[in-house]
Amino acid sequence: MFCLQKPLFSRQVSVEVVSFSVSEENLQIPRCHFHHCRSPQISSTPPPLPPLTPSIGVLSIRFCTFKKLRAQMDSIKQEKVQRFEEFVDRRLKPDLVHAIAERDKVFEQQKVFSDLKKNIENLEKNSVTSLRTLVNLGSEVYMQADVPDTRRIFVDIGLGFHVEFTWSEALNYIAAREEKLARQIEDYTRLIASIKSQIKMVCEGIRELLQLPQEGAY
């Protein structure tokens, strides 16, 4: 008697050969008696695995990774906010102050020519050919001066140069200068508006990065 063991099956089988004879006329098939060997049953399907639950160590690693990513994102966000603030403080605001100062200078020149135009028109209207006036010597010190002929005046054209004009010539020059000064004022006004809009846009970007509520949202 011998046993054939097949590890892939759940039972062992023993075979006992009773007889085995071969002849030319008859071929007898051996009769075998199968005896079941008692062996522990092995299931072909594996038992179900217990549900996977993350351990405390895995959770702690994930939490530390999340905190690290959050810290990196906050650092990048702070760097962007800092660059935006530096751009506003070091570039846009100085440009805005300079543009406003230059426009104020043009306003002062415009006022000077406007006053000169009014004085010439008054002289021409009243036919004043001579007059006595006060001249500012500086530091609020004035001195009386006599003008024997007011029909010819000297006008400051810039860079320390003065040109002698008659009343009509002076009025024509003043009109041309006032037109040019008006264009300069418009240019500076547009520049100031553009810089202000850029500052507002950058501040809006900073607000979105910091996730701050809009003004007047509540």
pLDDT digits (tens, 9 = 90+) for 40-64: 454 555 556 555 555 555 555 555 6
pLDDT digits (tens, 9 = 90+) for 82-112: 888 888 889 999 999 999 999 999 999 999 9
Residue-wise pLDDT tens digits, 153-204 = 899 888 889 999 999 999 999 999 999 999 999 999 999 999 999 999 988 8
> Quick check: is 203 in a domain?
yes
Report the number of distinct structural domains present in the chain: 1
> Does 26 score more than 50 pLDDT?
no
Single-letter amino acid code for the residue at 137: L
Per the structure, the complete domain to which residue 129 belongs is given by: 100-210
Q: Which position has the higher pLDDT, 193 or 16?
A: 193
Task: With respect to residue 12, please indicate whether it lies within any of the assigned structural domains.
Answer: no
Judged against a pLDDT cut of 60, whether residue 151 lies above it is answered with yes
Angle in degrees, CA 57, 62, 64, rounded to 5: 95
Residue 75: inside a domain: no
CA distances from 31 to 3, 18, 19, 22 (A): 16, 6, 7, 13
Query: What CATH number did the domain enclosing 187 receive?
Result: 1.10.287.370
Length of the chain: 218
